[in-house]
């Protein structure tokens, strides 16, 4: 009986994971079907409206000056542009922000510095506070690590000539894609989401969401949806669903790129992923019932369900980790399988295709769409992309559980260092912005050692195909744990240890 329980549980988990893989294939189909359905504005404004640029900042001393330089270069009439620097900083960033705002004023911009000493609501609270003083009917939101093109406002504003359009989202680009292997893999992850998922959802008439930055809102849309709320860590996703449930239409402009800086170290990446994962599950709990009660078509409700529940795959992945070895050692005695062992592959092959091959195909197609002359260079990164997804399962499963059990945590900013493609480690090493240490890397390395033993035992037993298929597990867990463990070692200098700060405070 226990053999059957292990065996059935193993395949049920695999089928669950394969289901999310199948969803990626449906997304890919929708993308290919609608990728040429380029949105167009109804008309152009005869007179350009006033736009308020909202720039939420928290301890961003390395990137604020770069951001403000790009703001000063915007190709939009100064008398039609208001700039709000929404600063919640608790360090020397405040002085840099003030200086940058004064510099903009000297250049003739309507620039305002708004500082909060009370970070209630974190980023959502800062945006909510800034909107009270916004002069424009349209709000372009930009995080501190972004570098917008001069034409971004003129490229987007005319879509609001349609009174039903509530939000415009541009596609994120990457300022430091080639910085290291981690940034290259992150770029592939984000390209898949932004190029394929967002395009497919928006152009096929399904729900899609604001990405938190690099987009413009109609102020009346925000007000109609209930305003910024800060009971989740992904205020952008929360507001997006509430606004669309009110009947507002969104537009995704995949051909307008707004570049940003990717996290360059593993701890920063983990911090970002933890926040996004936890916030999405919080939104799932908050919005999913209302979505199913709405009058939207079934296809919209199913897509929203797949989107909001997708991070439960990390829980399934953790369960799979505990089932893999018992499944190999203990399996039910089934005479037909003993006589025809190849029959098991009728179940294994489809599951493997939907669970792994579909994911690789999905991200490779995004590279082919965005980098038609260079996409093949990313093929060798696919095993590392799959491995990183596995390695992040401990970190992200923890986020899912925290959201499910209402464990409250602050908005932990992902440290950015103002780096580009050069790979220079100077700014990273000298910065006092560091993510918090945690015990998660120790659990990750335990998983890594366990799966290394499983892979080696399969090699010893001559199960070479199984060993190859399991190889991403130890690779992924070692990849996510070793950089974090290295930062915790006592070989660091006293000055470095004194510089580590908790960015959630």
State the catalytic residues. 88, 236
Distance separating alpha carbons of residues 50 and 181, to the nearest angstrom:
42
484 phi-psi bin (left φ>0, alpha ψ -120 to 50, beta other): alpha
Distance separating alpha carbons of residues 236 and 123, to the nearest angstrom:
10
Distance separating alpha carbons of residues 265 and 486, to the nearest angstrom:
12
Of the candidates 377, 429, 364, which has an alpha carbon nearest to the alpha carbon of residue 181? 377
Task: Say if strands 215-218 and 138-141 run parallel, antiparallel, or are unpaired.
Answer: antiparallel
Q: How far is CA 182 from CA 333, 356, 394, 480, in A?
A: 44, 20, 18, 10
Task: Say if strands 165-174 and 138-141 run parallel, antiparallel, or are unpaired.
Answer: unpaired
Q: Token pair for residue 142?
A: 């930009």
Distance separating alpha carbons of residues 490 and 496, to the nearest angstrom:
11
Q: Token pair for residue 40?
A: 């167009």
Q: Considering Cα of 272, then 276, then 279, then 281, what sign does the dihedral take? A: negative
Distance separating alpha carbons of residues 473 and 470, to the nearest angstrom:
6
Of the candidates 297, 289, 197, which has an alpha carbon nearest to the alpha carbon of residue 242? 289
Largest CA distance in the chain: 84
Q: Give the H/E segment covering residue 308.
A: helix 298-309
């Amino acid at each position: 009986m226990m053999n059957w329980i292990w065996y059935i549980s193993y395949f049920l988990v695999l089928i669950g994971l394969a289901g999310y893989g199948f969803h990626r294939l449906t997304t890919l189909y929708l993308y290919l079907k609608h990728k040429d359905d380029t949105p167009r504005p109804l008309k152009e404004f005869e007179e350009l409206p006033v736009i308020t640029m909202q720039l939420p900042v928290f301890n961003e001393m390395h990137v604020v000056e770069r951001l403000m330089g790009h703001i000063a270069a915007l190709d939009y009439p100064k008398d039609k542009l208001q700039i709000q620097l929404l600063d919640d900083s608790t360090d020397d960033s405040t002085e840099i922000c003030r200086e940058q705002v004064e510099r903009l004023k000297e250049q003739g911009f309507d620039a305002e510095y708004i500082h909060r000493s009370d970070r209630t609501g974190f980023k959502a609270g800062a945006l909510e506070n800034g909107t009270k003083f916004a002069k424009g009917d349209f709000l372009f939101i930009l995080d501190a690590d972004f570098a917008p093109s001069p034409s971004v406002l003129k490229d987007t504003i005319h879509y609001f000539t349609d009174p039903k359009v509530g939000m415009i989202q541009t596609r994120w680009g990457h300022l430091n894609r080639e910085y290291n292997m981690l940034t290259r893999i992150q770029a592939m992850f984000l390209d898949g989401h932004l190029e394929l998922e967002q395009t497919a959802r928006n152009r096929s008439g399904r729900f899609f969401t604001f990405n938190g930055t690099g987009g413009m809102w109609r102020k009346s849309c925000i007000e109609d949806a209930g305003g910024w709320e800060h009971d989740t860590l992904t205020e952008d996703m929360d507001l997006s669903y509430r606004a669309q449930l009110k009947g507002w239409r969104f537009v995704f402009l995949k051909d307008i790129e707004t570049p940003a800086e990717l996290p360059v170290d593993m701890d920063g990446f983990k911090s970002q992923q933890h926040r996004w994962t936890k916030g999405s599950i919080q939104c799932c709990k908050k919005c999913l019932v209302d979505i199913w009660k709405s009058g939207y078509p079934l296809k919209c409700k199913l897509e929203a369900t797949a989107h909001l529940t997708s991070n439960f795959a990390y829980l399934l992945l953790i369960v799979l980790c505990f089932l893999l070895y018992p499944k190999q050692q203990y399996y039910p005695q089934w005479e037909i399988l003993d006589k025809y062992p190849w029959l098991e592959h009728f179940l294994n092959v489809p599951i493997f295709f939907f669970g792994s091959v579909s994911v690789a195909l999905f991200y490779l197609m995004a590279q082919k769409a965005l980098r038609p002359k260079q996409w093949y260079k990313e093929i060798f990164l696919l095993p590392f992309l799959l491995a990183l997804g596995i390695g992040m399962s401990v970190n992200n499963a923890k986020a899912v559980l925290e959201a499910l059990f209402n464990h409250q945590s602050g908005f932990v900013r992902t440290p950015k260092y103002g780096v580009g493609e050069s790979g220079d480690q100077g700014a990273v090493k000298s910065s006092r912005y560091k993510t918090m240490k945690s015990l998660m890397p120790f659990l990750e390395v335990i998983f890594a050692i366990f799966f290394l033993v499983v892979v080696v035992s399969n090699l010893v037993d001559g199960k070479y195909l199984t060993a190859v298929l399991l190889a991403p597990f130890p690779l992924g867990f070692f990849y996510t744990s070793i950089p974090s463990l290295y930062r915790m070692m006592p070989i660091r200098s006293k000055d470095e240890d004194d510089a580590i700060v908790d960015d959630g405070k």
